[in-house]
A = this chain, B = another copy of it.
Amino acid sequence: MHSFSQNVLLFVLYGLCAFAAASYGVATGLIRARDLGVPFEGTPGELNAITDVRGVEVGQTTLVEGEGRLVVGKGPVRTGVTAILPLGKDNLNRAVPAAVFSFNGNGELTGSAWVEESGFLEGPVLLTNTHSVGVARDAVVEWGTRKFPDSANFSLPVVGETWDGELNDIGGFHVKKEDVFAALDGATSGPVVEGNVGGGTGMRAFGFKAGIGTASRILAKGADGLCVGVLVQANFGRRDNLIVSGVPVGQEIGDLQPLIHRGSEKEGSILVVIATNAPVLPHQLKRIAKRAALGVARTGAVSTNSSGDLFLAFSTAVPVLVDGRQQWSTLENDDLDPLLASTVQATEEAIINALVAAQTMRGINGNTFYALPHERLREVLRKYNRLLER
């Protein structure tokens, strides 16, 4: 295809990331890993969410309907869409520096070729189920070209997926373009709901119910005001591999295995979206995207053949256009280390947050994935002297 112009931003949007004075998770009313005393490295931002990166908005459409036996096209429905807007709804026609990395490409992330080639992400990032990538993709085209008729930034949308077919009537194609519009139109800054919501509605990880998770990091000293936010759609890993903060939780909690009445459980995938306000170049963002793999590794997963482990990183520090030239003011490679470390840490925590927030769900054919039991998680951490007692 061709593009008319990349329409880069004429001013820099990024600001500071406030240090968190309050506890985390209050805003959504949901329990988060830190609330349970799970120890993590680094300092989270105010919301401990991807939305700590100023400008980033998240919108989610959750579709839950029906119970009982699977009738393809009827349900039960356990799915949805999560939309991440790098600069918010009003600046979505502005491209942001970005990069993608496929650690194990058993998945889809449309738009990757152009992100890789151009160094920019044009438009939002959508996360949904495997069978709904197409409808979500075309819906972004329609939504974007309607909202920004003069922009060519919506021709190659970025849509990722993981497989929710163990709980959801995935072959029923229940995500409609209106659901995608709703996620986009409803996107907000502020706290991000985790667990059984949006694209994560029907997802599971390590044999527990999982879904959407998020976390953030304020960068270490020498990087004032810079932060990293991560959002994951977690649907991967085998029970016995689960590690939480170094502790072999999966081996300690061997029960509460999924009820799968038809078919067998297979390992799925994990999508990781990384946002930062740090001023970095596209090739540096690829380095950041790669670090998501290290965060995933800390949760014990080995990225199996069937896992689609695709990562995307973007920066809200967009170049300024002056006299037809893009003006950048970027970090030296030697100054990237705090960004790399923060990405590893926030990815790890976002995954554990997804597990902690998700609640037991019964889906098609009565298939059931159980929530990670909070008290038992604390017991196991205590056994290994890793629980942060209040």
Indicate how many identical chains form the complex.
4
Given A322-B329, A326-B330: A294 and B293 interface contact (C-beta under 8 Å): yes
Flag the segment in A76-84, A135-143, A182-190 that touches B: A135-143
Q: Which applies to chain A's interface (DSSP): helix, strand, loop or mixed?
A: mixed
In the assembled complex, which residues on chain B have CB atoms less than 8 Å from the CB atom of A301?
A: 294
Which residue on chain B has the smallest CB distance to residue A383? B385
Is A1 an interface residue, CB under 8 A from the partner?
Answer: yes
**Complex Cα–Cα for A5 and B156 (A):** 30
**Complex Cα–Cα for A21 and B182 (A):** 60
Interface string of A325-341 (1 = CB under 8 A from B): 11111111111110011
A282 to chain B minimum Cβ distance, whole angstroms, is 5
Which residue on chain B has the smallest CB distance to residue A161? B1
Task: Let me know if A303 and B114 touch, CB within 8 A.
Answer: no
A260 to chain B minimum Cβ distance, whole angstroms, is 13
Is A54 an interface residue, CB under 8 A from the partner?
Answer: no
Task: Let me know if B325 and A173 touch, CB within 8 A.
Answer: no
**Complex Cα–Cα for A119 and B135 (A):** 27
Q: Which one of B137, B297, B307 contacts A298 once the chains associate, using CB atoms below 8 Å?
A: B297
Is A283 an interface residue, CB under 8 A from the partner?
Answer: yes
Is A305 an interface residue, CB under 8 A from the partner?
Answer: yes
A337 to chain B minimum Cβ distance, whole angstroms, is 5
Is A208 an interface residue, CB under 8 A from the partner?
Answer: no
The residues in A between 1 and 45 inclusive whose CB is less than 8 angstroms from any CB of B are 1-6, 8
Instruction: Give the contact-size bracket for chain A.
Output: 35 or more
Task: Let me know if B138 and A135 touch, CB within 8 A.
Answer: yes
The residues in A between 135 and 184 inclusive whose CB is less than 8 angstroms from any CB of B are 135-139, 141-142, 145, 155-156, 161-163, 171, 173
Is A366 an interface residue, CB under 8 A from the partner?
Answer: no
The residues in A between 103 and 158 inclusive whose CB is less than 8 angstroms from any CB of B are 103-114, 116-120, 130-139, 141-142, 145, 155-156
**Complex Cα–Cα for A332 and B305 (A):** 10
In the assembled complex, which residues on chain B have CB atoms less than 8 Å from the CB atom of A302?
A: 291, 294, 337, 340-341, 344
In the assembled complex, which residues on chain B have CB atoms less than 8 Å from the CB atom of A335?
A: 324
**Complex Cα–Cα for A155 and B337 (A):** 20
| 16 pairs, CB–CB < 8 Å, chain A vs chain B | A5-B332, A6-B334, A104-B117, A113-B308, A132-B138, A246-B247, A246-B248, A279-B325, A281-B282, A302-B337, A302-B344, A304-B336, A306-B334, A324-B332, A325-B331, A384-B384
**Complex Cα–Cα for A165 and B269 (A):** 35
In the assembled complex, which residues on chain B have CB atoms less than 8 Å from the CB atom of A336?
A: 304-305
In the assembled complex, which residues on chain B have CB atoms less than 8 Å from the CB atom of A279?
A: 325
Q: Given contacts A302-B337, A304-B341, could you give 13 more A-B pairs where the C-beta distance is less than 8 Å?
A: A1-B106, A1-B108, A2-B267, A105-B116, A105-B118, A106-B114, A130-B155, A246-B247, A281-B281, A293-B297, A294-B303, A306-B334, A324-B335
